[in-house]
Amino acid sequence: MAFTATKISLIAARSLEWTFGVIALGIFGYFVSVQRDLDVKVLRETVTPLIASVLAVAFTSSTIVATVFNSRTLQYIASLADFCIFVIYITSAGLYKHNFHVHGDENPLQQYLIAAKKSHRLSDHHGMINALVKLGAALIIMQLTLYFFTWLISGYAAYANDGTTGVNEGPVREKRTSWFSSNRSSKDSARNANSIAPAATEPAQAV
C-alpha cells in the first residue's frame, strides 16, 4: 500500500495527538484526584480537559487504523471524531483561559489547589503544581491545533477517496470509460453485421 504525503502527515499528527492525550490524561487526572481526595469542589476547567483527553486516547488509535486502510467511510468517522474532540478542547481552552499566565502564582487553578492542600495541612508541592498547570495549558493549545488540522485533512482525504476500493477516482473513472467504449464498439460492430447480412442474401438480378 502506497503511503501518500497526506497519509504520512495524518499518521504523524495522530501519533502526536495520542502522545499528548496520554500526558494530558495524567495531568488532569491528577488535578481531579487531588480535588476529590481533599473533598473540595472539582473545577470544570480540570474535568473538561480530562474528558477530552480520555476521548483522544480512546479514539486516536482507531483513527490511525482508518488512515492506514484508506477507507472513505472510516475516514468520515475519523473526521467526525476529530471534530467532536476539537470542540471539547476548544471548550477546555475557554474554561482554562485564566490559567495561561507565565507567572504561576497568577493562575487561579494553582492558587486553588495549593490552598486546598494547605487547608488540610499537606505539603503544597508548589513547584510541581506550578509546572503542571502551565503544562496543562500548553497541551490544551497543542491538542486543539492538532485536532483542527486532522479534522480538515481527514475530511479532504475522505472526499478525495473512492471509498470502496481505497483508490482515487481517476483510475476507476478511466476503467469505467474504457468498459463503456468497448461495449459501445461491440454494439456498433453487431449492428453493422446485421445491416450487411440481408444485402448478401438477396439474389443477383439478371442483366
- Give mean pLDDT, residues 19-38: 94
Residue 26 lies in a domain: yes
DSSP of 68-126, one letter per residue?
HHT-HHHHHHHHHHHHHHHHHHHHHHHHTGGG--SSGGG-HHHHHHHHHHHHTT----H
94 and 182 inside one domain = no
| Residue 192 pLDDT grade (very low, low, confident, very high; cuts 50, 70, 90) | low
Tell me the three state secondary structure of residue 62: helix
Determine, yes or no, domain membership for 207.
no
* 138 in the same domain as 173: no
Q: Do 58 and 132 fall into the same domain?
A: yes
Chain-wide mean pLDDT for the chain?
80
Assess whether 152 and 169 both reside in one domain. no
If asked whether residues 113 and 171 sit together in one domain, one would say no
Q: Is residue 203 situated within a structural domain?
A: no
Does position 67 have pLDDT exceeding 50, yes or no?
yes
In a domain, 29, yes or no: yes
pLDDT at 188: 59
* pTM over the 0.85 mark: no
Q: Range with the lowest mean pLDDT among 76-80, 103-107, 110-114, 179-183?
A: 179-183
Give residue 176's domain range: 164-193
Domain count of the fold of the chain? 2
Give tens-digit pLDDT for 140-183.
999 999 999 999 988 887 777 654 444 344 444 444 445 445 55
